Structure 1
Amino acid sequence: MLDPIVLFFLLGVLAGLSKSDLKIPAAIYEALSIYLLLAIGLKGGVELSRYPLGELLHSSAWVLAAGLAIPLIAYPVLRHLGRFGHHDAAAIAAHYGSVSVVTYSVAVAALGEAGIGHDGVMVIYLVLLEMPALLLGVVLARLGDAPAGGGGRLQALRQVHWGRLAHEVFLGKSILLLAGGLVIGYVAGEAGYAPIAPVFRDAFKGVLALFLLEMGLVAASRAGAFRTSGVFLLGFAIVMPLVAAAIGIATARQLGFSVGNAALLATLYASASYIAAPAAMRIAVPQANPALSIGASLGITFPFNLFVGIPIYLWMARTFIAG
């Protein structure tokens, strides 16, 4: 998959590994991320304005329930096979249960290159899937803290600063901009979106390329996390996305999704958060080592999805949905 936006990411990785002085200023990085989040939300909102909201409740419930299975599968694998402590296992599972907006963006661009359409309502699932896994990760960590017995576990859950955590998750930059763009696009509709489309639609891929250049630099800086975590986490960061994608394809088939929608759902399930999840875990599970979760999600799973995963998920959708 030699799309220019992927090659931009590779350029960033090579620059980082070679200790180049290349650096994207923090203000520009923030501006690029704000643009991408708003652009995705706006496009989804415009598409959403064409659909009755009531029809989405059934599919949203299915997508959310299947998505929550991912951290519930990941946690015992990390805990018992990988022999990670319960704090690290819960934090890593939360990262893999949540989603990556940038991976979703690359998958959208790949579908465009392949001439495969998709529905803008997929952004609804993008927003829905980012939050619950983070809360589930906190619950898993706290249950691991608690002594045996229902009373101890209940007391551990009460000690979580749920208000602060909810503020971080629901009013964090990614959710706020995605949801805000979604509402604006829904209210504006096609006619209101048309005047700003040259900025938020036509320039999207170029901005994504610059953002991925920075992501390559960051991914290269996280490679050292695997010197202490061993081969297991490396294998987990590759195998877990494939398992999650299979869950996504099965869910899409159950719901009668199109090939494009199925490929995007598989990509969402296969992606791992490295923006919202680290912030939430830092607050709720400070005992966890962030180098492990961020190193796995950003250092391994993100580039794996870009170069190998997304073409596989598209093949799975074509084979099991269209075929």
Structure 2
Amino acid sequence: MIFSGLAENITNPALLFFLLGIIAVQLKSDLQIPESSSKFISIYLLFSIGFKGGQELSHSAISGELIWSIVAGVLLAATVPLLAFFILKRRLSIENSGAIAAAYGSVSAVTFVTAISFLEFQQVEFGGHMIAVMAVMEAPAIVVGVLLINLYNKTDKNRPSCKSVLYHSVTNGSVVLIMGSLIIGFLASDKQAQGIEPFTTDIFKGFLAVFLLDMGITSGKQLSVMVKKGLYPFLFSTLMPFFNGLVALFISMQITDSPGNQLLFALLGASASYIAVPAAMKNAVPKANPSLYLPMALGITFPINVIIGIPFYYQIIQNAG
């Protein structure tokens, strides 16, 4: 059953474009997406998903599911870095352990968007409040990761303050955009939302396909980097997402009966940030090596989640239902 779900997911055009990007790198093709175009598309995807989530949220009453989902999301984002840090620091430096832990405690908006595309293809409904859950899970992991580095690396005299770390976490561009779009979508009336629907909805899947092509090209390049890092980072970036995803899925099943919400929560737990965390760590922990935590999150964990993780968790949800 899982393999049938996997085969069905691989026929998704967006995912096929991701695989095309990886293949292009292996063929040493000069195919690439201009950096400015890639940045615009990432901004568009965050804007679109945030706005649509705000619209869905405006039609939903404040419920126990909404509150508990946000609480569970924040707690998960804060506790995953703790577990990851103590696993990693046995083999890696304090700085790298903290940065990787923060990446795996935080979330990947693109993985989330890909899961939404999968649900729409399967015609499975999900709650708009899950966008809010994703947004609030960005910052806690970054803060916890840097706090752990500060706690265990007492020799560094240039450690940033907790206030500075918190500020850079919540003002990160992706966090501001997703939260701002969510609020704007919540405030907009149905008539106003329909006015920009061709932009927020009709062209969404096309832009997602192009963006995943770019992610495939980037991931293909990062895979060669990961080979040089040894077995330990590879095993961590392969196994940790499934552990986190299964824990998140179990928690979600206690909160909601919605298969769509359960899948999205599982993917939030399983995903690793390769946008918000690198941007924050560059300022907060310059000694952390981005050529280690970025390939782990983008080159290994992201492909595993979108190719195997989504159908795997969805099959579990269907069997449990």
Matched, 1:71 2:81: yes
Give the C-alpha shift of residue 228 in structure 1.
3.0
CA distance in 1 between counterparts of 2:181 and 2:157 reads 33
Matched, 1:46 2:55: yes
In terms of mean alpha carbon deviation, does 189-198 or 255-264 score higher?
189-198
Matched, 1:223 2:216: no
**Paired position in structure 2 for 1:116:** 124
**Paired position in structure 2 for 1:98:** 106
**Paired position in structure 1 for 2:46:** 37
Preserved contact between residue 139 and residue 170 of structure 2 (Cα < 8 Å): yes
**Paired position in structure 2 for 1:11:** 20
Preserved contact between residue 21 and residue 213 of structure 2 (Cα < 8 Å): yes
Q: Which runs of 5+ in 2 are unaligned?
A: 1-9
**Paired position in structure 1 for 2:31:** 22
**After the TM superposition, which residues 109-188 of structure 1 pair with which residues of structure 2 at under 5 Å, given as runs?**
109-146=117-154, 159-188=159-188
The letter for the 1-side match of 2:219 is A
CA distance in 2 between counterparts of 1:2 and 1:168 reads 39
Q: Give the percent of matched residue pairs that are identical in Structure 1 and Structure 2.
A: 37
Give the C-alpha shift of residue 28 in structure 1.
0.9
Secondary structure of 2:196's partner? helix
The letter for the 2-side match of 1:75 is F
CA distance in 2 between counterparts of 1:59 and 1:106 reads 20
The letter for the 2-side match of 1:12 is G
Secondary structure of 1:288's partner? coil
**Paired position in structure 2 for 1:248:** 248
CA distance in 1 between counterparts of 2:181 and 2:315 reads 31
Give the C-alpha shift of residue 274 in structure 1.
0.4
**Paired position in structure 1 for 2:5:** none
In structure 2, do the counterparts of structure 1 residues 279 and 8 end up closer, same or farther at CA, with 3 Å as the change threshold? same
Preserved contact between residue 139 and residue 166 of structure 2 (Cα < 8 Å): no
Preserved contact between residue 168 and residue 279 of structure 1 (Cα < 8 Å): no
**Paired position in structure 2 for 1:190:** 190
The letter for the 2-side match of 1:38 is F
CA distance in 2 between counterparts of 1:203 and 1:184 reads 20
The letter for the 2-side match of 1:246 is L
Preserved contact between residue 85 and residue 97 of structure 2 (Cα < 8 Å): yes
CA distance in 2 between counterparts of 1:168 and 1:61 reads 22
Query: How many pairs are equivalent?
Result: 311
**Paired position in structure 1 for 2:263:** 263
Give the C-alpha shift of residue 48 in structure 1.
0.7
In structure 2, do the counterparts of structure 1 residues 247 and 157 end up closer, same or farther at CA, with 3 Å as the change threshold? farther
The letter for the 2-side match of 1:226 is M
Give the C-alpha shift of residue 69 in structure 1.
2.2
Give the C-alpha shift of residue 157 in structure 1.
10
Give the C-alpha shift of residue 72 in structure 1.
1.5
In terms of mean alpha carbon deviation, does 163-172 or 182-191 score higher?
163-172
| Cα root mean square deviation, aligned | 1.8
**Paired position in structure 1 for 2:94:** 86
**TM-score of the two chains, using structure 1 as the length reference:** 0.91
Secondary structure of 2:45's partner? helix
Matched, 1:303 2:288: no
Secondary structure of 1:52's partner? coil
Preserved contact between residue 87 and residue 144 of structure 1 (Cα < 8 Å): no
Preserved contact between residue 143 and residue 157 of structure 1 (Cα < 8 Å): no
CA distance in 2 between counterparts of 1:228 and 1:22 reads 24
Matched, 1:59 2:69: yes
Give the C-alpha shift of residue 54 in structure 1.
6.6
